[in-house]
Chains A and B, each alone.
Chain A
Amino acid sequence: MATRAKKKVHFPKTRLAELAARAGGLTRDDAVDGAMKSLESMTALANAEICKSIAAMEKIVFGSGATLDAAAMLAIQAYADQVVTLAGTFGHTTLDAAARSLCDMTDGLQRAGMHDRQPIAVHVQALHLMAPGAMSLSPEHCEKLLGELAKVAGHFSFGSLAAESSLDDVEIIAAAAK
């Protein structure tokens, strides 16, 4: 008869817990304020990084023919992911939404074994228009652009990465109760 692997339970005391419990330190508000101030000093650099990523995507998309190979798709996805991270952190809401849509599109195309350049190109052009330092678009224009991207996404009917994948830990607790 097979025996079940023995379960061991440890109760480790981590040094992080010991250090964090010392007297002194910061309140949450002070810590978050401190981090926000540190981040403010990086805003210009982050904007430049976003523009660099968009330029790199443009180079790939507009330097190719009617299709994009797998390596090009992966490269675009990596740049788009970077834009999501930076746009989200630095409060570029519409750029964040457009970059997420591009991530969903590249992911969907790759999973479907498709190599179409055009839907990617439309997204990259939208990112260019929404980039920090680009001509300032009115909220209505931004909405319209996002609406057009949604139509492109709707045509392909790919799911969203956010919807398909695992939730983060806080969301798991909330979801489990529903």
Chain B
Amino acid sequence: MAQARLNLRNVTTLLVDRDHFTRSLVAQMLRGFGMDTPTVLETAAQAKHHLMHHYADLCIIEGALPDMPSADLIRWIRRQEKSPFRFVPVIVMSGYTQLRLVSSARDAGANIVVRKPLSPQGLFDRIAWVARIARPFIEAGDFIGPDRRFRNVPPPDGKLRRETDEQSDQDAQDISSAAAE
């Protein structure tokens, strides 16, 4: 079966990471995916300023920014009720020493978290996931963000994922079956 295509041309991406080299690395991957050159920034303050004046279709944010945890930036994004970027998909990149921040980023409303080191396959699959799997946004109490109860389905063509996800796919079906019972 032919693989489905994903058209990421003209997608405007905001990439925020403290490290210059990591920013270049991710930007290169994105260009390889056919995306336009992302806007690359270093701090949460710069990201906030950028979002207030420009739009982004996708935000890719490091777990621990130099001026605040990514969770605070995501929380700020999700609370901008009148702004078009409130529902923007946010992917958080977690460094090895930032893994403890993963749950706080998720609690703040991140769409998905990806661990560094990044692989092109891993990053592409997650972009494909947030682009193709619609998740409702929940606003309840302190939480504003995508529904954290994953719909455990692969992307529509079943191809846009890692080979190692096959087991996860089986597991996901098991979860769905258990939930249905």
Contact = CB atoms under 8 A, between A and B. Distances in A.
Interface string A18-38: 011111111111011111111
B8 A164 contact: no
B139 interface: yes
A1 interface: no
A112 to B, nearest CB: 16
A58 B58 CA distance: 38
Contact of A46 (B25, B95, B98, B165): B25
Interface stretch (A2-10, A63-71, A132-140, A141-149): A2-10
B71 to A, nearest CB: 12
A12 B24 contact: no
A87 B117 CA distance: 8
Interface of B: 2-11, 19, 21-22, 24-25, 28-34, 55, 57-58, 87-89, 94-100, 102-103, 106, 112-121, 123-125, 128, 130-132, 134, 136-141, 150, 152, 159-160, 162, 165, 167-168, 171-172, 174-175, 178
Contacts of A25: 5-9, 34
Contacts of A82: 19, 21-22
26 contacts: A5-B140, A7-B140, A9-B137, A12-B87, A14-B89, A15-B55, A16-B89, A16-B131, A17-B132, A28-B128, A31-B34, A31-B120, A31-B124, A35-B28, A39-B120, A42-B25, A81-B95, A89-B118, A103-B96, A166-B100, A171-B168, A173-B152, A173-B175, A174-B171, A174-B172, A177-B175
Contact of A173 (B6, B33, B119, B171): B171
A136 B3 CA distance: 41
Contacts of A178: 171
A82 B96 CA distance: 9
Nearest to A177: B171
A84 B95 contact: yes
B43 to A, nearest CB: 16
Contacts of B131: 14, 16-17, 19-21
Contact of B25 (A89, A103, A168): A89
Nearest to A32: B120
